[in-house]
Structure 1
Amino acid sequence: MYGKEVNALDGILLIDKPVGLTSHDVVDYIRKRYMLKKVGHGGTLDPLASGLLIIMLNRATKLSQKIIALDKEYIAEMTLGFSTTTGDLGGQVVEKAKDDGYLKLAKYQIEQVFQKFVGEIEQIPPMYSAVKYKGVRLYKLARKGIEVPRDPRRVKVYNLVIEDIDLPRVKFKIRCSRGLYIRQLCIDIGRELGYPAHLSQMVRTTIGKFSLDSAHKLDKILNEPDSEKYIIPLDIARKLI
């Protein structure tokens, strides 16, 4: 494992977040586990998503902005046929396809549309997001049924590869810059194909040089008596960012 610093709890933990927990839930669990006041995470992962979540402890919380700015990679699944208020399976259905044409789309049609979203693109943040409007988080407004205008943001998609097509589902891998919402990407791709769509599954596999392969299950961190050994010391973490 990793060597200890003067303060072994100054560092980061790589957590494999399970489906069902918010990123803040994980922060709370870690804070209680190590009895710390300063704990943060390096980029929100939605409750219905799983995968790599970087948790920062004590002085490592100062690395927050650098970690959040790192590129990320996901394996995700888009499902055609209906869209929801949240863009994933956690919301209410707001639109259904008028016909079953989405089940008859050819592979080349789907591939052509996916390629349109590679490179620098503009994306309007979804209402269910942490983006602020006049100082208020959009998701707080969305929960009240309020929708406000949002300016498009320029984000980068470095790589977008379809891994499997089993209509109405399309599985893909994406590497992108910070600020890109995979939920919104699925909605936009579906719209380009002519059908409502939503994000049905998502796993975050990398953040910068950090990989899900090196992450630990949350239960393991919480229940092992010597789980401090999994903390990556601050000096090593700095070199990896």
Structure 2
Amino acid sequence: MEKNFTKDGLILLNKSRGISSFGAISHLKRVIKAKKVGHAGTLDPMAEGLMIVMINDATKFSGDLMKKDKEYYVEMELGYKTDTYDSEGTIIEKYESEINISNSKIIKTINSFKRKMKQVPPMYSAIKVKGQKLCDLARKGIEVERAERNVNISEIREIKIIRPDKNSENSQNIKISFYTKVSSGTYIRSLVYDIGEELGVFATMTRLVRTKIGRLDIEDAITLEKAEAEIGKLKKLVEAKRENESFWTTKSDAAIRAEKIREIVCFVEIEYILDYYGINVSNEKYGRLKNGMTVIDTFKKFENISKKINKRENIRENQKFKIYVRNRDTNKREFRGIVKITSIRGDRIYLKRDKYFL
């Protein structure tokens, strides 16, 4: 197999509706011929949008990436609810009377959820209770008590309300859309369900698009369809060798194809994705860190990293940093992994290698 990805990094994938998260990344893996892939944050088959696909040892950052806040575009309908809280479930109750709620009340109610709150996950979810997935129990008609979880709805914006023609067949189904930014672990289906309960007329989610994960944006993501089409064109191009001959003679076909595949999918090396500040360490300290030893530095080392952390009280235990080492042969500064502060004693900071280290 061609080594298209020898380094660790990320690809931003725009998942289409109707395919599972596992199915999407498995398909992408075959298309790009990657050795190892993973993803940070599952999307239901009916959901669309941004997925972080981790290549090679970038999978070690799955936990960190999953903790980031997320933004979604949401569409919902009033007037009925389903067993799954979304439009792919079975309708279990309808609001039979006329829905007579003003737009201002709907907007006020939706905005009232912009806060820290406790949320009960839906039965149709992948959460495990005593070793069994809730969705598996739900399919058997078994409902169990679910523990509440703390979530934060930090932003709700661009609320739009579409009222149907009174003469239409579904004149009751008021459609609503909005964007929301939420903490990790928030179920948008449950948010929609709770909005319906608060309004007293039921609600069901009809569309969900994840638009952001942390500072990563769907605008920079590629669809499976586009990746497959562009790589298919490249394969034909390589076989025909239609590009500049001088370029072809300097590299092998496999190397050229691998390079262009990385460009097509906008592959980003892990160094440029991590939000940690960077520090320099000597080759001697790098060697000790690589061998699992603890090294000691002082607060002076961190003073110039950023104005945000140049105060002693802002340096904390378990804080992580990217480390850089000067290559003795090339004299270039090279990224070599992640370190973590294990303890702070007086003016001394104790550092140890983290799970990702080169």
Give your verdict on TM over 0.5: yes
Which of residues 119, 123, 147 in structure 2 aligns to 1:127? 123
What is the count of residue pairs matched by the alignment?
234
Q: Distance in 2 between matches of 1:202 and 1:227?
A: 29
Deviation at 1:129, TM superposition (A): 0.8
The CA RMSD over aligned residues, in Å, is 1.8
TM-fit CA distance, 1:116: 2.0
Q: Which has the higher contact order (CA 8 A, sep 6+)?
A: 1
Aligned 8 A contact 1:97 1:195 in 2: yes
Decide whether aligned partners of structure 1 residues 236 and 8 sit closer, same or farther in structure 2, where only a CA change above 3 A counts. Answer: farther
Q: How does 1:154-193 map to 2 (within 5 A)?
A: 154-167=150-163, 168-193=174-199
Whether contact under 8 Å (1:8, 1:228) holds in the other structure is: no
Say yes or no: does 1:42 pair with 2:2. no
| 1:210 aligned residue (202, 209, 216) | 216
Q: SS in structure 2 opposite 1:87?
A: coil
- Is 1:221 the equivalent of 2:197? no
Q: Cα distance, 1:112 vs. partner? A: 2.0
2:49 — aligned with what? 51
Letter in 1 for 2:226: K
Given that residues 8 and 231 in structure 1 are in contact (C-alpha distance below 8 angstroms), is that contact kept between their aligned partners in structure 2? no
Work out whether residues 8 and 233 of structure 1, in 8 Å CA contact, stay in contact via their aligned partners in 2. Answer: no
Pairing 1:16-35 to 2, within 5 Å after superposition: 16-35=14-33
Confirm or deny: 8 A CA contact 2:29 2:37 kept in the other structure.
yes
Q: Which runs of 5+ in 1 are unaligned?
A: 1-5
Which has the larger Rg? 2
Contact 2:107-2:159 at 8 Å conserved across structures: no
Q: How does 1:8-19 map to 2 (within 5 A)?
A: 8-19=6-17
Following superposition of structure 1 onto structure 2, how do residues 133-144 of structure 1 map, counting pairs within 5 Å?
A: 133-144=129-140
Following TM superposition, by how much is the alpha carbon of 1:162 offset from its aligned partner in structure 2, in angstroms?
A: 4.3
Q: Deviations over 1:180-215 (max 9, x none)?
A: 111111100000000111101111110001001111
Unaligned ranges ≥5, structure 2? 164-173, 232-259, 278-358
Which residue of structure 2 aligns with residue 235 of structure 1?
Answer: 271
Q: TM-score, normalised by structure 1?
A: 0.91
Give runs of ≥4 in structure 1 deviating > 6 Å.
Answer: none
Provide Cα deviations, 1:59-103, integer angstroms capped at 9, x if missing partner: 0101101110000001111101111111111111111112122xx
